[in-house]
Amino acid sequence: MMMNELTLIQRIVVWILPVIFAITVHEVAHGWMAKKYGDNTAASLGRLTLNPLKHIDLVGTIILPGLLLITGTGFIFGWAKPVPVDSRYFKNPRQDMAIVALAGPASNLLMAIGWALIARLGVAVGLGNEAIAMPLIYSGIAGISINLILMLLNLLPIPPLDGSRILSGMLPSYWAWQFNKLERFGFIILLGMLYFNVLSVILAYPKYVLEQWFMTLAGL
């Protein structure tokens, strides 16, 4: 039985943990890295925790992923409440912010590897123990997919995505200042790209290539 053959309830059960962890750990990674560079804002607000209740955004964590899952679009993503980061505490604000931004996608890459190993464990358990093997395999596949989507999406250089912070940290000060002006239009740009299916087109090939590598790691 393939992922698209699962019932709606089964799909929700398979995807719920990978989605919550992908979104939650992504935000915690930002806060953890910010603390390493001298900003304790997230820590002081209790946001450096894996408790999803501290990070859940009604629309981004529940409603949007749920609708995408129910409609079977095959393109599931979301977001949590952003962890507050105050660059005034950084020694090199733009460069340090770029590293803090990179921590989010990096965490998704590491989680994709972790979910691939979980799927591989399911494969090792074998079809003789389907009650154990199949949940591990399906959850592993879901974990790989959602984390790769979040990683690739956030690496796009569109404000306020992480990729824009990374690019801003690499640009000369004047051009970074000009580039950051786009942030007020960022959400509109993203909605337009989503509506006209541009995001799916941009992300499809790199997601396919990475998924093949991770599926090989998973033994699938």
Q: What is the pLDDT of residues 28-81, one digit of tens each?
A: 999 999 999 999 999 998 889 988 888 877 777 777 777 766 766 556 666 778
Residue 72 has a pLDDT of: 60
Domain count, the chain: 1
Other beta carbons less than 10 A from residue 148's beta carbon: 25
Other beta carbons less than 10 A from residue 73's beta carbon: 10
Rounded CA separation 81/56 (Å):
6
Q: How many CA atoms lie within 13 A of 24 on its CB side?
A: 17
Structure tokens at 102: 């990179």
From the list 27, 130, 183, 211, the catalytic residue is: 27
Check residue 81 and report its DSSP letter: P
Whole-model pTM over 0.95? no
27 is catalytic: yes
Residue 6 has a pLDDT of: 63
- State which amino acid sits at residue 150: L
Residue 15 has a pLDDT of: 81
Residue 1 has a pLDDT of: 46
Q: For residue 34, what are the CA distances in angstroms to 80, 88, 165, 177? A: 17, 11, 13, 21
For residue 82, cis peptide bond before it (omega within 30 degrees of 0): no
**Domain residue limits at 49:** 3-79+87-218
Structure tokens at 92: 């090199």
Residue spans of the chain under pLDDT 50:
1
